[in-house]
Structure 1
Amino acid sequence: MISRMYSRFCQTLPAPEGSSGLLVAFSGGLDSTVLLVLAAQFAHEHGLGLRALHVHHGLSPHANDWVRHCEGVCQRLAVPLIVERVQLALGNGESLEAQAREARYERLAAHLGEGEWLLTAHHQDDQLETLLLALKRGAGLRGLAGMVPNQPFAAGRLLRPLLETGRRELAELADTLPYGWVEDESNQDTEYDRNFLRQQLIPQLKARWPAMAQTAARSMAICAEQEALITELAEADWLQAREGEALRIAPLLALSAIRRNNLLRHWIRRQGGDMPSRELLGLLWQEVALAREDANPQLRLNTLECRRFQGQLHLVRPNLAPCHEVLPIRIGETVALPDGLGHVSVQGNVAGEGLRAPRSDEPLSVRFQVAAGCMLKPVGRGGSRRLKKLLQEHGVPSWQRGRLPILYYGEQVAAVAALFVCDGFLAQEGGIHWHWQQAAAAE
């Protein structure tokens, strides 16, 4: 039996030449024990390094016994074992399931080397549970597609070579092995949604329809294909509508509502945002994109905020506030700006056009504000204007005002970000150079 399953295991993996080694997520349970045995044979045959990692969550009184069991199995298989202990925050509002999973993958990512494969023991019955949980949440195609067998992860790849294998088949093989396995008593607690499905609902479904896990897997594979197709469409629409990381509204007007929503989700996902509900997408379009021309609309999308400026949609961090710091700086120095705005530097003796050297009574500083009523005259302009008007002319969005670094000579504004130099501070030769290196998410 093991030879049949090992053959299928090998067929699901990429060519071994593409791997620099294997790391197995090893809980000591039935599924991961079978996985470790198969991975040990594969690593031996292909001359690959193999390690196992066990995460001690500290939630069970038997957790230390599980570590000892895992050590024994790994010793018999001649596989090095890494044991990571994590501390979960009880009573912080986040489920222990979610915390434990996040902590586990955090440790796995930290130990995964460049080009290594991380193997996990997710199987066909886990896929069925994932599908049912996605249906409970009202997930879209991405959620209904379930877990994929091969995906990028940390410095390597995450592979799930048992996804086409049912748990019953894994149990039959585990019974023939001499290692045994641990049973996590929390798996019997049906207060957890996944355990409720596993212990109560799925057995009834499979009793009525024995092939339920296989047919669900086929449906999930179709969903994965359709998700890939609409992602291709969204990427094509994105290339037509993008302006940097912003989205031009005009091209969106020509799209159907369904296609437009697909693009908006794609855009939000690209910038690391949480997927909004259909209702929230409707509000984004109606109350932000189609708001009055003279309005300054904004909509909170959990960890991001959608803003509109000059016919474009922008995603920014919420609650951006003006900066009021005064940061002294000297020629040759680089200074970190507050609130993740990046760094500024001033370098001397620069060939070509630059800022004139400051006099001894003109100490340099970086600020973010100008005095009320202050008028600035950029080089080449016929007259002076208020900073707000100048920033509008340069197309600076309202939420960035008060967050742009301004170089002062004493109490005089010499330059505003990379936008303009004020009259009287430009040098044709041998001046100093002022540079703002923005952070990736400076908005």
Structure 2
Amino acid sequence: MRFYSSTLSIAKNKKKNHIQIRAIHINHNINLRSKEWTEHCKTICIQNQIPLIIENINLNCNINNNIEEQLRIQRYNIIYKNLYDNEILLTGHHINDQCETFILFLKRGSGPTGLSSMSFDTQFGNKNIIRPFLNITKKKLELWAKSKKLKWIEDFSNHQIDYDRNFIRNKMLPILEKRWPFFVKNCFRTTMICQKETKLLNYFLHKKIVNFIKYDESLDISNFQHMKKDMCTALIRYWLTLKKIKIPSYKNIQNIYYQMIFCRNDANPKIIIKNHAIKRYKKVLYFIKIKPNIQNMLLFWHNKNKKLKLPNNLGYLIQNKNGIILPAPHTNELINIRFQHEGRISILGRNHTRKIKKIWQEKNIPPWLRNQIPLLFYNHTFIAALGVFIVKVKNTNRNNWIVSWFNNLEIPQDYKFSFY
């Protein structure tokens, strides 16, 4: 972590070029001298009339072993939140950083996409990251900084070889460069070749995948069993790149292929990727954010003239004139919402009872959505799965009322029912 400030060379000419610059410093709070580094950044920015944002990361004691990765994720989240819509993030990554990244991906057994490492211009959400020094060596940058009499801070943790990147930087690269002086530059050339190959592959995959992606961004795999494995895994991988996540390893992509493509038709396999899951339903793959289990939750709607907020960002229920017409509760009945029910029921439009599982299947509700749909009860009497079906109530001597569920559920393409 050094503050060269990659913006300082631009700062010298910012008035001439009409460039507006802001800087951000993130204190990780893991070094005893981190406060000194913050003060250094303040001084540099004041001298060059650059607005400075200072943010702090407080390390969670429950953080996993990969501290570098966790800090990087937090750091970029903070930067993203502070970026204006019309701003570009400039970073100081150089060719040696690129070589280190390349070797890290090589260690993981990555293919051309991973070995592409960093690019000069990267999409960052709906904003951009530009790395203007990516083809310049660390040594050349240091010589330039010294010639301009720039002052910077060295983070001594960069020499702790317990971290993989530091081991590569301090142990591996000096030996490799001594043996092969052009090793770092050749690594960079390899990353450029991999980037070109990846762009070309993605160009063809983009044209092909439109035949398999449904409107809700799920992936239709109904014909994958009749396609070559390499094409299937390439399409799965490209589909996941569209989710803007860190792409799973080669091994995980293979697991997705074997577990999802060749499982039984009635199976519902899932593969966890951090806080998301890949799930299969009726020969379609879905990429689902994992939500807390609310199967055993019970909500009481004591005042039906007010909104009832639902858990898991499922929206809210409200009595109005534009929703679903339902049997109204009696005065002495408690209106309550549940998210799980088992057994046989009879719904409007049917003469016989059926297991609720079969009804969910008929309505094309995937298993992971079934426990996200509010089930309306009066005391212990099941009245309706809101937006899906209404249960036949034995006591028909009831008035009607109208309920709307405003929700954010993602539903399958072939599901025709409107939730409103």
Q: 2:232 aligned with 1:260, yes or no?
A: yes
> What displacement does 1:211 show?
3.1
Q: Can you list the C-alpha shifts for 1:326-375, whole angstroms capped at 9, x where unaligned?
A: 3223444332323x150232323449x733544434543322234x6552
Greater displacement, 239-248 / 136-145: 239-248
Using structure 2 for the length normalisation, give the TM-score: 0.83
Structure 2 residue aligned with 1:84: 55
Once the two structures are TM-superposed, the CA of residue 40 in structure 1 deviates from its matched residue by 0.5
| Equivalent position amino acid for 1:261 in 2 | T
Report the counterpart of residue 417 of structure 2 in structure 1: none
Structure 1 residues 254 and 44, CA gap change in structure 2 (3 angstroms): farther
Normalising by structure 1, what TM-score? Answer: 0.80
Report the CA distance shift for 1:78/1:441 in structure 2 as closer, same or farther (over 3 A): farther
Do 2:294 and 2:371's aligned partners in 1 also have CA atoms closer than 8 Å? yes
5+ residue gaps in structure 1? 1-26
2:186 matched to which residue of 1?
215
How many Å apart are 1:190 and its aligned residue? Answer: 2.8
Residue 184 (structure 1) shift? 2.1
- Give the length in aligned residue pairs: 408
One of 173, 193, 212 as aligned partner of 2:144: 173
Equivalent residue number for residue 383 of structure 2:
414
Deviations 1:97-129 (A, max 9, x none): 334433432332232222112211111121111
In structure 2, relative to structure 1, the CA distance for the partners of 1:89 and 1:383 (3 Å cut) is closer
2:162 and 2:64 map into 1 onto residues whose CA distance is: 15
Task: Tell me the residue number matched to 1:160.
Answer: 131
Answer 1 or 2: which has greater helix percent: 1
User: How many angstroms does 1:158 deviate by?
Assistant: 1.6
Which secondary structure state, in structure 1, belongs to the residue aligned with residue 209 of structure 2? helix
Distance 1:130 1:47, change over 3 A: same
Report the Cα offset of residue 260 of structure 1.
0.3
Of 218, 240, 264, 1:292 maps to 264
1:45 matched to 2:16: yes
Supply the distance in 1 between the matched residues of 2:49 and 2:200 (Cα, whole angstroms): 44
Provide, for residues 235-271 of structure 1, a one-character-per-residue CA deviation record: whole Å limited to 9, x for no partner: 3343212333432222323432111001112233444
Q: Distance in 2 between matches of 1:250 and 1:85?
A: 48
Once the two structures are superposed, what CA deviation does each residue of 1:131-170 show, in whole Å capped at 9, x if it has no partner? 1121112122222111121223356422111112122221
Alignment of 1:178-193 (within 5 A): 178-193=149-164
RMSD: 3.3
Give 5+ residue unaligned stretches, structure 2. Answer: 413-420
Partner of 1:68: helix, strand, or coil?
helix
Counterpart selection for 1:314 from 286, 293, 300: 286
Q: Aligned ranges for residues 197-276 of structure 1 at < 5 Å?
A: 197-243=168-214, 244-271=216-243, 275-276=247-248
Q: Indicate the percent of aligned positions where both proteins have the same amino acid.
A: 27
The one-character-per-residue Cα deviations of 1:376-413 (angstroms, maximum 9, x if unpaired) are 222x3333333222222212233443442122345433
Distance 2:35 2:322 in 1: 64
2:340 to 369, 386, 391: 369
- Match of residue 93 from structure 2: 122
Change in 2 beyond 3 A, CA 1:259/1:54: same
Asked if the contact 2:117–2:191 (Cα under 8 Å) also holds between the matched residues in 1, the reply is yes
2:36 to 54, 65, 75: 65
Instruction: After TM superposition, give the deviation of residue 296 of structure 1 in Å.
Output: 4.2
